[in-house]
Amino acid sequence: MSPRGLTHFARAATPLRTLVIAVLLILVGDLLAWGIQTGGGRIDVRDVRWHGTGGTTMSALLYVPPGASPDAKAPAILAVHGYINSRETQDGFAIELSRRGFVVLAMDQTGHGYSDPPAFANSFGGSDGLAYLRSLDFVDRDNIGLEGHSMGGWAVLIAAASSPDDYRAVVIEGSSTGTSGAPDATAEYPRNLAVVFSKYDEFSALMWGTSVPGDVPAGEKLMAAFGTTDPVEPGRLYGSLADGTARVFHQPPVTHPADHFSRVAIGHAVDWFQTTLEGESTREPGDQIWYWKELGTLVALVGMIVLLFGVGATLLAQPVFQPIVGPPAPARGARGGAWWVAALLFAMLPAVTLFPFKDMGAALSPSAFFAQSITNQIMVWALLNGAISAALLAVWHLTSGRAAGATADDYGLTWDGRILWGRVGGSFVLALLITAAAYGSLSLSAAIFTTDYRFWVFAVKPMSLLHLRMALVYLIPFVVFFGVYGAVLSGQLRRDGSPTGTMLRAVTVSTLGFVALITWQYVPLFLGGTLAIPSEPLWSIIAFQFLPIMTIVAVVTAYFHERTGHIWVGAFLSGMLVAWIVVASQATHWTF
């Protein structure tokens, strides 16, 4: 659903109608996602835990196809996601392989998802995953394949090296041998290897030593892994399947994160395992349905967003919350060219500062207090942007806003010039109840349908107790940032117009900078070169996640400012949502 559609539901529909629409979207999305990942109920998808090295609790989704039993053992695949992803990222591979009779263990790496931290421990957890898979009495231990994307490729390669007789074939997608503990390839290691490395992969320099991803086939490292002195030919079979020395290289026309969102890339993995393992091989690799599951979780995600407005409107209609209900003050923001300058600064500042400010955040080492490296960097970026935005707002107020009669009331901060703490507290309670309703819907979806809300690189996942503990710490700085964000958006940048127009304007100025950053980074890559800043492959990918996050935040901020006349509900709700979404999706680097 587009931002315009969301704002229509949020503003035009009655609270009851909005709630009904939200519930229907979530239910339809959940049913579609469940039906696809279980093959209409035929495949048993289990949320499993086990103890790995040193007693580390490991987590995975286990896909068990029909007929797999101790008397009819099935071939199996260990599937491992990349850095700052989780087990659900491997859905496309898991769904297609389980449809073809393979047991699939899609595991969380250490420090990711619901596996114990820290990240990178125990060689990313790959060996623990392989050992658990082999312990299942319905798995054919002589018929196991390993599949890993990005850092997950290193996890399965290390597992292959440490247990050389426990698998038959490997597929690495967007990954490489000879990196981060994964040994260099030899004639014997790894056994029967397929390398799927995309034409526009952002990590070609790290993985295969070539700055331009299109040059990987001619790179020395890949040629050595294939035992050739000539450029590797995509699609050509090297070595011998019978001897375990087979090699094949594929280069689908996608990016690094799109490997697990590509019918071509997933098809190459399916084809290799159908070729190298004994199992069902009559279903063509191109016969795929996994993308319908992605559509289902997207529909449910939209339903959760609509639910925020339905629950918020319903609660605001209750007597207990009437003191915080009120119209916004008349627009006293910037006018004419000054508005366009302010809007451009507001749009571009977060994107322009993303890379340098996250580098500053990298100096904040993970600790028991701030335990996630990437979240620390996002937090520092947010606080520094908040400080700059607050300073710019103050300068504008002193030079222009005050002369136009603007006060703290016009920025949504005060009531008749005073901060009424009772109303601030009521705003916090309202935001907490709305967040609880959204989280409750997700918890039910996970419990009943074994699914979450996601689309491609963006996911809304249930939190573990450890995630909740961390989210409460990160909540404070995020609320501070979104308080400043709301004051600028609803004060300096406020213009007269319809509520729908206000929300669309908020979405535009909140996402435009990131659209520009992504475009600037990727156009040179798609033209056959490298990223504009080649040293930032990870954060170029992370930048995509800012688009849905800032869209949600913008609509929430604008909507509740329209309903309450103040920034507080939007700031608290945005902080809660972002702390939850980011912490549950990120890697944890501190050992608790």
> Using CA atoms, how far apart are residues 407 and 421, in angstroms rounded to an integer?
18
**Within-domain flag for 541:** yes
Residues 267 and 379 in one domain: no
**Within-domain flag for 32:** no
**Within-domain flag for 37:** no
Residues 237 and 377 in one domain: no
Low-confidence ranges of the chain (pLDDT < 50): 7-12
> Using CA atoms, how far apart are residues 561 and 444, in angstroms rounded to an integer?
30
Residues 224 and 335 in one domain: no
Q: Is the pTM of this model over 0.85?
A: yes
| Per-residue pLDDT tens over the stretch 301-351 | 999 999 999 999 999 999 999 999 999 988 888 888 999 999 999 999 999
> Using CA atoms, how far apart are residues 377 and 374, in angstroms rounded to an integer?
5
pLDDT at 150: 97
Q: Which of 267, 286, 305 is where one domain is finished?
A: 286
Residues 212 and 348 in one domain: no
> Using CA atoms, how far apart are residues 125 and 109, in angstroms rounded to an integer?
5
| Per-residue pLDDT tens over the stretch 511-524 | 999 999 999 999 99
Residues 219 and 100 in one domain: yes
CA 487 to centroid of chain Cα atoms:
28
> Using CA atoms, how far apart are residues 91 and 316, in angstroms rounded to an integer?
39
pLDDT at 129: 98
Q: Which of 247, 262, 286 is where one domain is finished?
A: 286
Residues 240 and 319 in one domain: no
152-182 b/e (C-beta count within 10 Å ≥ 16 → b): bbbbbbbbbbebeebbbbbbbbbbbbbbbeb
Residues 298 and 269 in one domain: no
Helix 290-316 crosses helix 421-449 at what angle (to 10 degrees)? Answer: 150
3-state secondary structure of 178: coil
Residues 320 and 468 in one domain: yes
| Per-residue pLDDT tens over the stretch 185-213 | 988 899 999 999 999 999 999 999 999 99
Q: Specify the CATH number for the domain of residue 133.
A: 3.40.50.1820
**Within-domain flag for 36:** no
pLDDT at 529: 97
Residues 233 and 355 in one domain: no
Structural contact between residues 439 and 580, judged by C-beta atoms closer than 8 angstroms: yes
pLDDT at 112: 98
pLDDT at 8: 47
Residues 320 and 442 in one domain: yes
Residues 6+ apart with CB under 8 A from 368: 590, 592
**Within-domain flag for 33:** no
**Pure H helices in 458-565:** 465-487, 499-526, 537-564
**Within-domain flag for 135:** yes
**Within-domain flag for 592:** no
Q: In total, how many domains does the chain have?
A: 2
What is the chain's mean pLDDT, rounded?
A: 95
Residues 96 and 186 in one domain: yes
Q: Which of 286, 320, 337 is where one domain is finished?
A: 286
Quote the domain boundaries for residue 170. 42-286
- Residue 227's alpha-carbon distances to 174, 184, 218, 233, 511, in angstroms, are 20, 12, 13, 12, 47
**Within-domain flag for 502:** yes
Which of 222, 218, 247, 220 is closest to 235 using CA atoms?
Answer: 247
pLDDT at 13: 62
Residues 536 and 495 in one domain: yes
pLDDT at 10: 47
Q: What are phi and psi of 81, to 5 degrees?
A: -75, 175
